[in-house]
Structure 1
Amino acid sequence: MATGCTDLPDNCWELIFNRLHQLHHSNLESPSLSCKRFLSVTNTLRTHLTIFVPTAFPISTLLNRFPNLNSIHLSCFRNRDLDLGGNIHFRNPKLNLEESLDLQRITMEIANSNLNLKSLSFSGTQLHLESLRILGSRMKNVIILTCSDLRTLRDNDLVVIAESMPCLEELDISYPVNDFGWNADDEFETRSPGEVGVTDHGIEVVSSKLKGLKVINLSGNKFLTDISLLALSKNCIYLTGIALWNCCKVTEYGIKFVLRKSRNLSSLSVDQIDFGRLDDYSICCARNITTLEIYTANFPDEFLHLLVKASIPLKSLYLDLCHHPSFTFSGISSLLNKYSSLECLSVVRTDILTDETMSALSHYLSSLVMIRLGICNNLTESTFFTLAKNCPLLEDISMEVTNFGGGGGDRAIDIVQNPRIKSLNLESNQNLSDECLAKLAHVCPNLEVLDVSSCKGITEKGIAYFLKSSSKIRKLWIVECGGIKNIGNGFELSELEVFGAARSGINDDGLVAIGNRCRRLLHLNLNGCQGVTAVGLREILTNCEILKKINLTRCLNVCMATVDWMVFSRPSLRKIILSYSCLPSESQRKRFLRHGCLVMSEETGVEP
């Protein structure tokens, strides 16, 4: 006789749900909604939480709900701009009173929780020193602190960080805004550098108190000099990574000192440095360098030959904006021949690379996993086919702003499949055609990420070719592709999670097709799609049952009544972004927020 089966204990359910979570992050939503017990079990699996400031409710309930959180990210998305270099700037860098008080309250709530945090981020916000002291005294195990894009960052902030979090191993203080609204130069001159930004003194304090520091990002701190590098190299003997972009006062002397004294250094990211002034002794001392990122630098062949001679364990090499006249094919060929085990390679903005030279170099790249060849105008799709054939481990290819589609495919070359390729970025290739996309689809049958934004020559026909062959697509961007109004019919896109169609030709018919075929869609960007109305949105919201974010900025045919319907008809929605001129009232916003959906303007939101 069959015996009764007792229910599984919680630890068994946790193993099951954890496995589901590893397969796909949305797999826990259905179990968590089925019963309170499963909700309790799935809550224990969450380890990261992002909190947007200001919030309309205390976060202590969330902190109690997820007892195993080890990472929290606090962020303000207010009045953000991106410059051409991709750096964030704030049109109004100071937090308003509501944001400032809310941030202080949230920091104290985190400090008063019983969480065992390992990682904490204040990116885009502002530090409150007293609450930070309290938090540091109670969160003894925080080893990663991210303070990038802070509204203000000064030496006294670093002193508090160093004193309150002595176990830090990774510190990011990159690109502080430090904009006090001063217009008169003489007013600025009355302030010492330490009052308006981070100086060498602040870094000296950090290096003396954080002896276990391993990784630090100093990018964008304009007052720092070689003195900071000397202090870090002398005091932080475990230092493995340092980033120094846009630190205009750092010189070759400081770089040489770091290479000679920081014997554990494995990653170096710099710009505006004349590498022609480095010597072979400095390079030979850097025995553990695996990642080298060099931007806007004087980068002659002589330095490449020093790298060859040094025989360092290089795995990742990024050479961007390298315009030195003696940076030649001979130098890069010699380097790649030496480091045939290279896994990541980026060469941007150079004319020395052609389809012929890349064909020769590809024989040295058999171990390559990622390659970026951006803004190399002499490269066509022929280079892509060559890489796909000769680099069997290649997973990620970026060839934005090249001559892709410019006729290289007409040359006699074997077009073979490479099932390892998962990601392809062809952004801003004006000559890319539907016929070329059909060939690419044949080469990449297992593609998961595709970006063809600003490729004005393609239509839905070319996208349909690709999607039919690559049904595993998870992320697709067709931004500013006005010729694409639809993504085709008749085939399921069961894996698509992120669809960026801003300023494309997508209309209601296109949304109907997306709703019918992309049931696991999470993020949808329709910014500037003039053909979108409530008709198409109803189709999306009805069929995409786990949709979380949607951007409707500049969708002029979408009214507040439609937004109201969206919030209350699709419980999974967490964020709707609208034009500034089409915002809900304060009472409506709070009502939406109580329902779990944040409705915000383009100025305070981030595009999905």
Structure 2
Amino acid sequence: MEAGAILPIDYWQSIFSHLDHDGLEAVSLVCKDFLIISNIYKHSLQVIHPGVDMLSKQLNRFKQLKNINLKPFTGDLDEVILEIARSDISLQVLDICHQDGLKAESLKELGSNSKMKILKVFNCLMRNSNLQDNDLVVIANSFPNLEELDLRIFNFLPNNCLANDSCSPWFPTDFGVEILRNNGVTEKGIAFLLRNKPNLEALSIGNIKMDSSQSTITIENSISHAKALTSLEFSRMDVSDILLIAVAKAELRLTKFVLHFCKKFTVTGLLMVLSNYQLTKLGLVEGDIADVDIELVLSRDVSKLTHIEIKRCQVTSSTLFLLSTRCPSLVEIRMKQIALVGQINDGGINFPLFKNHSVQNLSETMQNYTGIEAILKSCKLIRKLILREYLKKKIIEADNSELPEVNLEDLSLSWTGIDDKGLAALAKRCPRLVSLEASHCDYVTTEGIKQIVNNITTLKYLYMRGCDGVKSGDLLEWMLATGNLASLKKIYLGQNTFTEEQMDQFSHRGCLLR
């Protein structure tokens, strides 16, 4: 029966306009009418197939696309960019994560399409690139409405580019982000970009040699032109107090500020920035910062902070107490390889940092900390937990009557000592888990993953990498034989141990296998 025979088409259009990406994908399979209507409201596309011909068909089919994600794409990058450039869509967001860099000619071709002039967000993560200052000029001239630009180069492509829909979090990833590394981009090129893109809202720069003697146009005397900047990240470069003072005096709209492996600055320059802006996101990663400096930072007005990252810095119990009491709005905390100085109660509930009950996302690298269960009990809003190098076999006890069901939805475990019993406890206490990542967890076996899949009916995303005890073939055959994949939408195994037939079988069940 045709959809129009049940309800008028405009009624269906009104309904479909409220569906998200997954909802549109689901209803498009029902009938031809639903497929046609869903095409109208499909605004985002993730390109997986390496063939450009397939993309050409998709571009002709989905005329209302605003967002194209090329991160999973492994084909010829320049060919696919040229195909997008020749299309009739009005693109606003373009995400790329690829082995090869973009050619300037491809960027010019993309910018020559008048409908691409409205591009607002351009994220390009590359392994190999030869970007020059002139390429930034091309970008500035081709995309006049650009608000966010992120050009990063990696020694290797991060796994989460392939595993997740997004690998551009609010803080640099833990894969050693190196922005504009070893290429021809200079401080002058960045300064030109700042002067010619006044509507630029977010900028990440790094590995730039700061040498004002080479040019009179510098970041320091250009930063004030970028009045719309709300997010600024410096990575792996010398950042002087003079530059920080220039940022402080620039009267930007800054709400996010990150210093990632930067040197030459002191707490004096950092305090100038904090005094002039009410930041909501602050990242300090391996700077020349002592515990007393962190305390000075937290003594400023940091009441608006919602996200903070402290890595490879020295902190004390008083520092953590200040973090808890001075930052009541915190919803995300990231700590990695911090030096805890002095005596700190490891009972979790008395650990001063975790008296903040508003925290929703927590990322920790603490090898022997045993208070995770108490934290989950105290901070009932935590939805996302990331643990790295956590050596305990269990995070929570399955038979602990004092701990109610945990509201965790996203759990990431990397290089941990957790075993199958630990996973079984998670399956019992975390019934609403949506995403599970286990990377390099040596004591996890196929049986442990089976318990998770079998007992958690809300699980949609399963990412496995480097877990030698998990036999991918056995796990996939068990899922198909028992039907235990009703809720799963994406399984990432990090190795090509599955067959084309298995990929088709999972695809027909609505699950992407990679």
The 3 A distance-change label for structure 1 pair 343 and 575 is closer
Q: 2:188 aligns with which of 247, 253, 278?
A: 253
* Map 1:148-297 → 2, pairs under 5 A: 148-149=97-98, 151-164=100-113, 165-170=115-120, 172=122, 174-178=124-128, 207-220=140-153, 245-246=180-181, 248-260=183-195, 262-271=197-206, 272-274=208-210, 278=218, 282-297=222-237
Q: Does structure 1 conserve the Cα–Cα contact (< 8 Å) formed by 2:122 and 2:146?
A: no
Could you tell me which runs of 5 or more consecutive residues in structure 1 were left unpaired when the two chains were aligned.
Answer: 1-6, 16-40, 52-59, 76-98, 180-196, 222-242, 410-432, 601-608
Match of 1:344 among 270, 274, 281: 281
- Please give the alpha-carbon distance, in whole angstroms, between the structure 1 residues aligned to 2:53 and 2:42: 19
- For residues 168-195 of structure 1, what are the alpha-carbon distances to aligned partners after superposition, in whole Å with 9 as ceiling and x for unaligned? 423536343458xxxxxxxxxxxxxxxx
Q: Find the partner of 2:378 among 469, 474, 491.
A: 469
Contact (CA 8 Å) 1:129, 1:160: kept in 2 or not? no
Change in Cα spacing, 1:555 to 1:434, as seen in structure 2 (3 Å) is farther
Q: Which amino acid aligns with 2:487?
A: S
Deviation at 1:457, TM superposition (A): 1.0
Does the 8 A contact of 2:132 with 2:184 survive in 1? no
Q: Secondary structure at the match of 2:295?
A: helix
Task: Check the 8 A contact 2:257/2:282 in 1, yes or no.
Answer: yes
Q: What's 2:20 paired with? A: 46
| Kept in 2: contact 1:291–1:317 (CA 8 A) | yes
Name the TM-score, length of structure 1 as normaliser: 0.65
Q: 1:522 to 1:160 in 2, by over 3 A?
A: same
Show the 5 A alignment for 1:552-567: 552-553=464-465, 554-556=467-469, 558=471, 560-567=473-480
Aligned with 1:303: secondary structure? helix
Q: Aligned in 2, Cα 1:482/1:105: closer, same or farther, shift over 3 Å? A: same
Aligned-residue offset at 1:143: 2.2
TM-score (norm 2): 0.75
Question: Secondary structure in 2 aligned to 1:501?
Answer: strand
Counterpart amino acid of 2:321? F
Equivalent residues in 2 for 1:78-477 (5 A)? 100-101=50-51, 104-125=52-73, 126-127=75-76, 135-149=84-98, 151-164=100-113, 165-170=115-120, 172=122, 174-178=124-128, 207-220=140-153, 245-246=180-181, 248-260=183-195, 262-271=197-206, 272-274=208-210, 278=218, 282-324=222-264, 327-337=265-275, 339-355=276-292, 358-359=295-296, 361-376=298-313, 378-404=314-340, 406-407=341-342, 409=344, 434-436=346-348, 438-440=350-352, 443-453=355-365, 455-459=366-370, 462-477=371-386
How far off is 1:569 after superposition?
2.5
Please say which of residues 168-177 and 113-122 is displaced more in the overlay.
Answer: 168-177
Q: C-alpha separation between the residues in 2 aligned to 1:479 and 1:279?
A: 36
Query: For the Cα contact (< 8 Å) 1:244–1:270, is it kept in 2?
Result: yes
Name the CA distance, whole Å, in 2 between partners of 1:484 and 1:370: 29
SS at the partner of 2:100? coil
Total equivalences in the alignment: 467
Aligned residues of 1:305 and 1:334 also touching (Cα < 8 A): yes
User: Judging changes above 3 Å, is the alpha-carbon distance between structure 1 residues 440 and 498 closer, same or farther for their aligned structure 2 residues?
Assistant: farther
1:487 lines up with 2:396 in the alignment: yes
Q: In terms of Rg, which structure is larger?
A: 1
| Correspondence for 1:575 | 490
Quick one: distance in 1 between partners of 2:200 and 2:103?
26
State the SS of the aligned residue for 2:318: helix
One-letter code aligned to 1:382: S
8 Å CA contact retained: 2:489, 2:511: yes
| Aligned counterparts of 1:592 and 1:279: Cα–Cα separation in 2 | 51
- CA–CA distance in structure 2, aligned partners of residues 525 and 285 of structure 1: 42
- In 2, Cα distance between the equivalents of 1:526 and 1:279? 41
Q: Is the 8 A contact 1:472 1:493 kept in 2?
A: no
User: What are the superposed Cα offsets for residues 471-514 of structure 1, whole Å, 9 maximum, x if unpaired?
Assistant: 33212233432313251233333522122234433333333322
In structure 2, what residue type is equivalent to 1:167?
Answer: K
The 1:482–1:219 alpha-carbon spacing in structure 2 relative to 1, beyond 3 Å, is closer
Shift of residue 542 of structure 1? 3.1
Q: Which residue of 1 aligns with 2:412?
A: 500
Q: Distance in 2 between matches of 1:511 and 1:357?
A: 36
Share of identical aligned residues, percent? 25
Task: Render the CA deviation track for 1:96-155: whole Å, top value 9, x for unaligned.
Answer: xxx543xx2321221221441111122353457677656555533222222342535223
The answer as to whether partners of 1:434 and 1:463 remain within 8 angstroms in 2 is no
Q: Secondary structure at the match of 1:550?
A: strand
- Residue 66 of structure 2 aligns with an amino acid whose one-letter code is K
**Cα-to-partner distance string for 1:497-534 (whole Å, 9 max, x where unaligned):** 12223443333333332222222212223444455456
Closer, same or farther: CA 487–171 of 1 in aligned 2, 3 Å: same
Q: Is the 8 A contact 1:304 1:332 kept in 2?
A: yes
Aligned to 1:235: none
Question: Contact conserved, 1:362 with 1:387, CA < 8 A, in 2?
Answer: no
Structure 2, gaps ≥5 residues long? 1-5, 26-32, 155-177
Cα 1:498–1:255 shift into 2, 3 Å: closer
